[in-house]
Amino acid sequence: MLLPEEVNVIDVVCRDGFQMEKEFIPTEEKINIVNQLSQLGFKRLQVTAFVSPKAVPQMKDAAEVVRNIERKPGIEYSALTPNMKGASAAIEAGVDALDVFMSVSESHNKANIRMSVADSVNAIGEVISLAEKHDKPVVINLATCFGCPFEGDVPKDNVIKLAEDFLKMGVEGIVFADTTGMANPRQVYELTSEFLARNPKANTILHFHNTRNVALANILAGLQGGVINYEGALGGLGGCPFAPGASGNVPTEDVVGMLEETGISTGINLEGLIGLAQYLEKVIGRTLPGQVMKAGRVCDLHPMPGA
C-alpha cells in the first residue's frame, strides 16, 4: 500500500464534541481537558468556538477557556469563529489561529449561519483581512463537502472551486468536512486526489463524522488520496447542532490506534489518549462511541485463562 510515514492528528472535542452537549460542562473541566490533551503530543487543538451564546450556549465561556489554558509550546490552539464579532473576540482572548467555517451547500449554510454561500465568502474575506492584521493564520472549514442533509449530493467541482477561492484569499489550510457522515471512500479518494493534483502544496485536512460507521474507511481513502492531516474528537463525542441526525466525530483515539498499528507515526501517546477518553466518559456521564477506549491497544494482551 502507498501510505505516508507520518500523519498529523488534530483533536476538536472541546468544540465539535462539546457544542452538542445540553448540560453545561464547567469551564474548569473544559480547561482541564485541553490541558490534558496538550500533554499527549498534538500539534494543533481546536479548543472552543466564539459563536453566539444564544445559538450555542455551551460555548459561552470561549474567552475564559482560551485565557486560562496552559499553553504548551509547539501547539497551535485555535477556535472556531463564524463572523467578525467572533474573530475579534478570539483574537482578543489570544488564540493562535482562527478556524472559519461555512457550508458548501446553500441550505446547510442557511441553517447553520443564516447566509448564502456567496455572502459567507465575502464575510469570511473580512475575517481573513482582520486576522492578517493580527498575524493570525486562518483555516477554512468547509462543511457538507460530501453531501448535505437537506440537498443530498454536493458536486465535487463546487467543493474544489470554493476551496481554491479560499486558497487565493490566503488561508493557511482547508478542512473538508463530512458534517453528517455522508461520505464514502471512493468519493473521498476522488475529491482529495483531484484537489491535491491541482494544488499539491495546499495544507489539506479531513474531518469525518462516524454517523454511518464509515469514518475510518474514509480516512484510509484520504491517505490514498494524499492527505496527511485528520481531525477527530476524543471518545467520538459530538456533532453539529444545525444538522439533523448528526452524530459524533471519528474518535481521535481510534484514528491514532489505526494509524499507529498500520506503521504510520502520529507522535501521539495512545495510552494517554485512551485514559483521557475514559475520563471524558465520566465527565459527560454516558457511554461514548469510541472503540479503542473500550478494547485497549492491540499490544495490551490479556492473561491466558487458567495460566
Catalytic machinery residues:
240
In the complex, residue closest to ligand COA by CB: 86
Q: Does 114 bind ligand COA (CB under 6 A)?
A: yes
Alpha-carbon dihedral sign for residues 78, 79, 85, 91: negative
- Minimum distance, C-beta of residue 53 to ligand COA, in the bound complex (Å): 6
Other C-beta atoms closer than 10 Å to the C-beta of 240 total 23
Give kind and range of the element (H or E) at residue 258: helix 252-261
Q: Which does 114 bind (CB under 5 to 8 A by kind): ligand COA, Zn ion, none?
A: ligand COA
Among positions 93-112, residues that touch ligand COA (CB under 6 A) are 112
C-alpha cell read off for 22? 445540553
Alpha-carbon dihedral sign for residues 218, 150, 139, 15: negative
Q: Does 83 bind ligand COA (CB under 6 A)?
A: yes
The answer to whether 147 touches 108, Cβ cutoff 8 Å, is: no
Piece of the chain touching ligand COA by CB under 6 A; list 45-53, 163-171, 187-195, 261-269: 45-53
- Minimum distance, C-beta of residue 267 to ligand COA, in the bound complex (Å): 27
Interface with Zn ion (CB under 5 A), residue from 8, 10, 15, 16: 16
Give kind and range of the element (H or E) at residue 257: helix 252-261
Those residues with Cβ within 8 angstroms of residue 171's Cβ, 6 or more apart along the chain or in another chain: 100, 128, 137, 138, 139, 140
- How many Cα atoms within 13 Å fall on the side-chain side of residue 80? 27
- Minimum distance, C-beta of residue 210 to Zn ion, in the bound complex (Å): 11
Piece of the chain touching Zn ion by CB under 5 A; list 2-10, 12-20, 32-40, 85-93: 12-20
Q: Does 178 bind Zn ion (CB under 5 A)?
A: no
- Minimum distance, C-beta of residue 5 to Zn ion, in the bound complex (Å): 27
- Please, which residues bridge with residue 251 across strands? 233
Q: Does 56 bind ligand COA (CB under 6 A)?
A: yes
Q: Which does 51 bind (CB under 5 to 8 A by kind): Zn ion, ligand COA, none?
A: ligand COA
Question: How far is 182 from 154, CA to CA, in rounded Å?
Answer: 10
Which of residues 119 and 261 has its CB atom nearest to ligand COA in the complex?
A: 119
Residue of 206, 210, 172, 196 lying closest to 78 (CA atoms): 172
- Minimum distance, C-beta of residue 101 to ligand COA, in the bound complex (Å): 6
Give kind and range of the element (H or E) at residue 283: helix 270-284
Among positions 182-241, residues that touch ligand COA (CB under 6 A) are 240-241
Q: Does 52 bind ligand COA (CB under 6 A)?
A: yes
User: How many binding residues for Zn ion (CB under 5 A)?
Assistant: 1
Q: Does 49 bind ligand COA (CB under 6 A)?
A: yes
Q: Does 54 bind ligand COA (CB under 6 A)?
A: yes
- Minimum distance, C-beta of residue 193 to ligand COA, in the bound complex (Å): 26
The answer to whether 139 touches 99, Cβ cutoff 8 Å, is: yes
Question: How far is 36 from 284, CA to CA, in rounded Å?
Answer: 16
User: Which stretches of the chain bind ligand COA, using CB under 6 A?
Assistant: 19, 49-52, 54-56, 82-83, 85-86, 112-114, 240-242
User: Which stretches of the chain bind Zn ion, using CB under 5 A?
Assistant: 16
